[in-house]
Amino acid sequence: MSELTEKAGKLDAVDELAAKRAEFVLDGPEGAVYLDGNSLGALPVGVPGRVADVVARQWGELRIRSWTEEGWWTAPERIGDRIAPLVGAAAGQVVVGDSTSVNVFKALVGAVRLARETGAGRDEILVDATTFPTDGYIAGSAARMTGCTLRPVTPSDVPDALGEHTAAVLLNHVDYRTGRLHDLPSLTAAVHAAGAYAVWDLCHSAGALPVGLDAHGVDLAVGCTYKYLNGGPGSPAYLYVRADLQDRFDSPLPGWNSHAEPFGMRSDYEPAEGAVRGRVGTPDILSMLALEAALEVWDGVTVEAVRAKSLALTDFFLECVGEYVPEGRVECLTPLPHAERGSQVALRCSPTLGSARAGGAPTAGPVMRRLIERGVVGDFRHPDVLRFGFTPLYVGFADVERAARALAEELSEATAERSHRV
């Protein structure tokens, strides 16, 4: 047994979240190490039974009665309240529904409208230049619709880019590619000091680390539920609108579900009060109730405990990679300081890295394909990034050691093959 396998065993033995693993289905190739929960979270064991009940009994037998008797109608707010503590929000501010992309649109246009109430000259939207593409596309459209210009800015440069023309700023809490954690408290404060509104995308932080929306005075936020919240493929996203802004939140998608009197069937629109104002049309009940069941795994878990384990997992992965992978074969894109690290490790792996004499390191795509074949599932992001996501509720330290060892073996084998060929 190597020193690191021994260390993994010791860390697993004192892991206070270890028992949570049994609440997930982690079958598949024997002993698979699943490090892709930052893309699609694993299936919680309670979900299939709940979905079966929703389909067979609630829909099949009760049919339309379920809208009231089974709480379908109020599910978006109810499930929003279940997510709220995970993102540091008091109840009544989060509503579930639609996709992240759609909620980015609602939040960003809503933020510009809020800014315009007091400052007509506010005609610029700043967007994270390193953002996940959908946020950038939607911000571009939101800018055209609101007569703003769109300026892509690296998050750390946002304070210098802010000014009296800034209406809203759209930022990612954790960068999807590098795993860099941005400084939400100080960036939000800077946005506010400039008189603008901050919209945060929490896709890669909610369920992995403390967010503190209320504590840091965030204006609006959005996030998906299919990554660290394990809601399932395409599960609905959520929208947070801070309580004191809700009265003024003017949604660009005012559907009948956000009407003050949805069954009044009125031709004039009167927005509902509270988080409900973020709703649009009929909610996707099957996905939404699957998500509600999935959120039960959070019972008895604190986000602080999740964060502590997440950092221990990524630290240990980096230690194992440092020990096993030959020097220079990969470059870590994820910041080493804990304050700047999300719950993933991104390793750049390209032919330009590694010694030319040894044939250079193999490219990221084929390396990840081979890792997946041998049961270590991470993902590949164009053009040369290997992403490994660490979901503290079901990833253990032995998984981490095994993944790093497999990576090292793949890199050495592939490099040896290449040098043989040249």
Q: Is 214 annotated as ligand-binding?
A: no
Angstrom distance (rounded) from CA 237 to CA 181: 21
Tokens 């073996």 -> residue: 409
Is there a catalytic annotation at residue 399? no
DSSP 174: B
Q: Of 21-29, 96-104, 265-273, 318-326, which part binds ligand PLP (CB under 6 A)?
A: 96-104
Which among 132, 228, 238, 390 is annotated as catalytic?
132
* Distances, alpha carbon 262 to alpha carbons 81, 247, 414, in Å: 21, 18, 61
Decide: helix, strand or coil at residue 272.
Answer: coil
User: What three-state secondary structure class fits 386?
Assistant: strand
**Smallest distance, ligand PLP to C-beta of residue 180, A:** 12
CB of 135 to ligand PLP, least distance (A): 6
Burial class (CB in 10 A: 0-12, 13-18, 19+), 157: exposed
What mask of x and - would describe binding to ligand PLP in positions 107 to 136, judged by CB under 6 A? Answer: -------------------------x-xx-
Binding-site size, ligand PLP (CB under 6 A): 13
Annotate each residue in 280-319 with x if it binds ligand PLP (CB under 6 A) or - if it does not, as one string: ----------------------------------------
Known active-site residue 226: yes
Smallest distance, Å, CB 174 to ligand PLP? 8
Among 36, 175, 201, 399, the active-site one is 201
Q: Does 100 bind ligand PLP (CB under 6 A)?
A: yes
Q: Who contacts 29 (Cβ-Cβ below 8 Å, separation ≥6)?
A: 375
Between 203 and 239, CB nearer to ligand PLP: 203
Residues 6 or more apart whose CB falls under 8 angstroms from that of 279 comprise 76, 95, 97, 255, 257, 258, 272
Kindly report the CA angle at 101 between 97 and 107, in degrees rounded to 5?
75
Angle of helix 133-146 relative to helix 100-118, nearest 10 degrees, comes to 40
133 is in an annotated binding site: yes
- Catalytic residue list contains 387: yes
Q: Of how many residues is the chain composed?
A: 422
Answer yes or no: are the C-beta atoms of 196 and 169 closer than 8 Å.
yes
Residue 101 contacts ligand PLP per CB under 6 A: yes
192 marked as binding residue? no
**Does 149 appear as a known binding residue?**
no
Prior bond to 283 cis, omega within 30? no
> Does 67 count as an annotated binding residue?
no
- The one-letter amino acid code at 125 reads I
* Residue 7 annotated in active site: no
Least separation in angstroms between CB 9 and ligand PLP: 34
- Is 226 assigned to a binding site? yes
How many distinct helices (H) and strands (E) make up the chain?
A: 12, 15
Binding mask 181-210 for ligand PLP (x = CB under 6 A): --------------------x-xx------
Known catalytic residue: 144? Answer: no
380 sits near ligand PLP (criterion: CB under 6 A)? no
Determine the Cα–Cα distance for residues 42 and 227; give it in Å rounded to an integer. Answer: 8
Tell whether residue 298 is among the known ligand binding residues. Answer: no
Task: Spell out the SS3 assignment of 328-346.
Answer: CCCEECCCCCHHHECCEEE
**135 in a labelled binding site:** yes
Q: Can you tell me the distance from the alpha carbon of 77 to that of 404, in angstroms, rounded to the nearest whole number?
A: 41
Q: Which CB, 58 or 178, lies closer to ligand PLP?
A: 178
Angle at 94 between CA 93 and CA 95, to 5 degrees: 125
Q: Exactly one of 86, 127, 191, 237 binds ligand PLP (CB under 6 A); which one?
A: 237
Report the nearest approach of ligand PLP to the CB of residue 267 (Å). Answer: 31
316 annotated as a binding-site residue? no
Q: Which residue has the tokens 């509270």?
A: 274
Report, in Å, the least distance between residue 409 CB and ligand PLP.
29
Which of 177, 227, 279, 405 is the catalytic position? 227
Known binding-site residues for pyridoxal 5'-phosphate equal 100-101, 132-135, 201, 204, 226, 256, 282
Residues belonging to the binding site are: 100-101, 132-135, 201, 204, 226, 256, 282
> Which residues are identified as catalytic?
132, 201, 226-227, 387
Residues of the shown chain interacting with ligand PLP in the complex, contacts defined by CB under 6 A: 99-101, 132, 134-135, 172, 176, 201, 203-204, 224, 237
